[in-house]
Amino acid sequence: MQEWVSFDVLRREIVVELEYKNLSPLRIGSGSSKIPTSPVDLQVITILKNGMRVPYIPGSSLKGVLRTVCENIVASLKLFPKEYKCFMGEGCKKRYDNVLKQYLRENMLEEAKKLLQKYCLVCKVFGTTSYKAHLYVSDAYPIGDVSRGVKVGIAIDRRSGTARRGALYTIEYIEPGFVFQSGLIFKNLPNYLIGLVISALDMINSGFVAIGGFKTRGFGKVEVTFKNIRGITLQDNEYVDIGEAKELPPLDEDDSLVKTESVKSFVNGCREAWRRYVEKKRRGQG
């Protein structure tokens, strides 16, 4: 049984500090009505910081991108039968969430733990409505000042394929070349599933996946840098700093040991743990 799927014991908590540098214009929309005093129709999302409104990348946006890419990776590798396919948690939500809520209401904890084993890989990482996520993604805030640009767009009538009358609008975006700091917090997650998330970040880094809006116009290309790792792991009933421990032992029979002596050894070790997991599952299918 995968004991880590529940949160009855904190087995480890790992923080991976990241930097995102936008290589092309970046636009995360505010999702709210236009500010009356703004000359721009479609503004970027901002937050009040030190008395000024600054653009940022919400953790929810980053988490949504990571979840989608992880789902695509798992589906492409065909590790599980089609009936276990799950999109944004909807499959596991329909199959298991109501039963899980019932078990928890009735304090049937052992039954709940057994049910959690059945959730798909991605839902075990990102959670569902009833199943708490093992991954937390913080907002990404800019380092220093950020320059914003404005682009003019023309709304097209879908029926006629021509420009709508009076359909000019302005789009605000973040100019290329700015760096945003963020972090990933992994709680009770085995090394191979951390490796899955790192694989998703690799897809962003390679340019195959963009962040934010207007992707078809070349927006949202981002460079990801792994800056630091820190955290604790449970050893002999005591919490030990992962720098002191120098390694993260396997959390289940599918996991592999990973060295934590440096960011590079940790990231590469988790990538390797994911590769071994995939190979093992494929051998099991054969």
Q: pTM to 2 decimals?
A: 0.90
Integer Cα distance of 270 and 250 in angstroms: 11
Distances (CA, A) of 103 to 96, 106, 113, 139, 171: 11, 5, 9, 33, 49
* pLDDT value of position 228: 97
**CA dihedral sign of residues 8, 61, 122, 286:** negative
* pLDDT value of position 37: 55
Which tens digit of pLDDT belongs to each residue from 209-264?
Answer: 999 998 988 999 999 999 999 999 999 999 999 999 999 999 999 999 999 999 99
pLDDT above 70: percentage of residues in the chain: 89
With bands split at pLDDT 50, 70 and 90, how would you rate the model's confidence at 272?
Answer: very high
Which tens digit of pLDDT belongs to each residue from 147-192?
Answer: 998 887 665 555 655 555 556 778 898 999 999 999 999 999 999 9
Per-residue pLDDT at 59 exceeds 70: yes
Least reliable range by pLDDT among 17-26, 85-94, 134-143, 220-229: 85-94
Per-residue pLDDT at 35 exceeds 60: no
The residues, ordered by sequence, that sit 6+ positions from 245 with a Cβ below 8 Å of its Cβ are: 233, 235, 260
* pLDDT value of position 41: 75
